[in-house]
Amino acid sequence: MLYREAGQFKTTYSADQQIFPILQDRIGFFITMAVAFIAIPMFAGDYLTQTIFIPFLVLSVAAIGLNLLTGYAGQLSLGTGGFMATGAFAAYKLATSFPDLNIIFVFIAAGLITALVGILFGIPSLRIKGFYLAVATLAAQFFLLWLFNKVPWFTNYSSSGVISAPPMSIFGVFVTGTEASHTAKYFFLLVLVTLLALAAKNMVRGHIGRAWMAVRDMDIAAEIIGIRPLQTKLAAFAISSFYCGIAGAAWAFIYTGSVEPLAFNIDVSFRILFMIIIGGLGSILGSFLGAGFIILLPVFLTNAPHMLGLNIPVDIISHMEVMIFGALIIFFLIVEPHGLARLWQIGKEKLRLWPFPH
């Protein structure tokens, strides 16, 4: 009764084509935004903001990026960590070489550099498909990390190989470095994520998104109806890497503050892949849901033995966490292979019919 599109007539094309055509969805969206922009900064303490909300925002950008590539364009990639590292190190080089540059330009330029790297590693996708491509993208993962580890130029010849973000401000408020407050970081990230998510949503609704989906569903058929596979696939790699690069830069500059190449190892790539699979392939909302799930799960697993009053040695707990993480992933894939986004869709269908069962 509450969630029904009946009676909501559209009189213009723009009204018909908006992102949320149903009034209830729009209300839901604005409530979510209000919670994100007002309630969370007001009520969540520094600890929650730093340990949950900031990494959530950073990783959802990476998840959106990978979802554009894997979920929409159908190119399975295991190189996300490498691309994030590229973004982080590009941003670091830019920020230290041009100290006066605004952080927004630093992030965008880092994203663009990562996009170029992404195009480079996307070229094989024109000939290689499926799991062969997935393994081939591992080349990007290992090669890029090796590069940042071995070439001291990338770390400005620091002996430890660790880069630290210089303090940078926007409108006079510090968002990186030790002086930055968690709230400032959170707001900066939130605006960034909102803009990037909106851009992604509009891309996948538009011409390029449809081209991606056509290539994903069958690339030969797509080619025959006039979609250029070269441009389409490389655009997917470029835009996906742009997002991953910004996510990597945000991870290094805003979340951790200082980072070494190994922080972007293959485990990161897998975790982001888990996010989009558990959230839902081919869904922007799913990227957020999956990111939230994968971030909350370890937090929950770490605290669960405490809450249950169990007293288990720390090293066994860390092994059991890994084990339960794996088991839960399998459980989720079996229960809902199409991810949390599908559950949300099913829920909406049920709401439309409610209170009737059919």
Stretch of 205-213, 215-223, 248-256, 284-292 lying at the interface with other proteins (CB under 8 A): 215-223
Q: Give the list of residues 6+ apart from residue 26 with CB closer than 8 angstroms, or none.
A: 20
319 interacts with other proteins by CB under 8 A: yes
Q: Give the list of residues 6+ apart from residue 343 with CB closer than 8 angstroms, or none.
A: 336
Nearer to other proteins by C-beta: 35 or 327?
Answer: 327
Type of residue at 214: A
277 interacts with other proteins by CB under 8 A: yes
262 interacts with other proteins by CB under 8 A: no
Radius of gyration of the chain (CA): 21
212 interacts with other proteins by CB under 8 A: no
Q: Output the CA–CA distances (angstroms, integers) from residue 265 to 32, 142, 302, in the order listed.
A: 33, 8, 22
314 interacts with other proteins by CB under 8 A: no
220 interacts with other proteins by CB under 8 A: yes
Q: Rounded CA gap, 81 and 189, in Å?
A: 19
127 interacts with other proteins by CB under 8 A: yes
CB of 345 to other proteins, least distance (A): 17
**Member of 145, 244, 246, 268 binding other proteins (CB under 8 A):** 145
Task: Fill in the DSSP letter of residue 164.
Answer: E
Q: Rounded CA gap, 60 and 340, in Å?
A: 14
300 interacts with other proteins by CB under 8 A: no
Q: Are strands 169-170 and 173-174 parallel, antiparallel or unpaired?
A: antiparallel
**Member of 1, 307, 314, 334 binding other proteins (CB under 8 A):** 334
* Site map 45..84 versus other proteins, x via CB under 8 A: -------------------------x-----x--------
218 interacts with other proteins by CB under 8 A: yes
**Member of 10, 150, 306, 348 binding other proteins (CB under 8 A):** 150
344 interacts with other proteins by CB under 8 A: no
Q: Give the list of residues 6+ apart from residue 95 with CB closer than 8 angstroms, or none.
A: 101, 103, 106, 165, 166, 168, 253
CB of 247 to other proteins, least distance (A): 20
135 interacts with other proteins by CB under 8 A: yes
Nearer to other proteins by C-beta: 249 or 281?
Answer: 281
Residue 331 CB coordination number (10 Å): 11
**Member of 27, 195, 330, 351 binding other proteins (CB under 8 A):** 330
Residue 205 CB coordination number (10 Å): 14
Is residue 163 within 8 Å of residue 89, measured between CB atoms?
yes
Q: Give the list of residues 6+ apart from residue 304 with CB closer than 8 angstroms, or none.
A: none
Interacting residues toward other proteins by CB under 8 A: 70, 76, 124, 127-132, 134-136, 138-139, 142-143, 145-146, 149-151, 218, 220-221, 224, 266, 270, 273-274, 277, 281, 315-316, 319-327, 329-330, 333-334, 337
